[in-house]
A and B are shown apart, each in its own frame.
Chain A
Amino acid sequence: MIAFELPAVTPARAKTGLAILALTLLLAALVAAFVIAPTEREMGDVQRIFYFHVASAWTAFLAFFVVFLASIAYLRTKTPRWDIVAASAAEIGIVFTTLTLISGSVWARSAWGTWWTWEPRLTTTLMLWLIYVSYLILREMVEEPDRRAAFAAVFGIIGFVDVPIVFMSIRWWRTLHPQVVGSEGFNMEGAMLPALFLSVIAFTVVFLHILILRAGLERSQHEMMELRRRARWIQEGGG
Chain B
Amino acid sequence: MGDLWYLALAYGVIWLGLFGYLFRLTARAEGLSREVNLLRGMLNADPPQSDGLVEADTPAEAGAGTAGGEA
| Closest B residue by C-beta to A30 | B11
Residues of B within 8 A of A85 (CB): 68, 71
In the bound complex, what is the Cα–Cα distance between A229 and B59 (angstroms)? 10
Complex CA distance for A7 and B42, rounded to whole angstroms: 25
Is the beta-carbon distance between A107 and B68 smaller than 8 angstroms? no
Chain B interface bracket (under 10, 10 to 19, 20 to 34, 35 or more)? 35 or more
A103-B14, A215-B71 known; A79-B66 Cβ under 8 A: yes
Interface size range on A against B: 35 or more
Give the complex CA separation of A212 and B71 in angstroms. Answer: 6
Q: Majority SS of interface residues in chain B?
A: helix
Q: Which of A1, A44, A107 contacts B10 (CB 8 A)?
A: A107
A45 touches B4 (CB 8 A): yes
Contact of B6 among A4, A46, A223, A234 (CB under 8 A): A46
Contact B69 A212 (CB under 8 A): yes
Inter-chain contact B32/A48, CB cutoff 8 Å: no
| 20 sampled A-B residue pairs with Cβ under 8 A | A4-B65, A8-B65, A49-B7, A52-B14, A80-B63, A81-B67, A84-B67, A88-B71, A95-B17, A99-B18, A103-B10, A210-B21, A211-B68, A214-B68, A215-B68, A222-B64, A224-B32, A226-B58, A226-B60, A231-B43
Instruction: Supply 7 further A-B pairs (C-beta < 8 A) apart from A103-B10, A220-B36, A222-B67.
Output: A2-B65, A46-B7, A95-B21, A103-B13, A206-B18, A210-B25, A227-B39
Residue numbers of A with Cβ under 8 A of B are 1-4, 6-10, 30, 43-46, 48-49, 52-53, 56, 79-81, 84-85, 88, 95, 98-99, 102-103, 106-107, 109-110, 206, 210-231, 234, 239
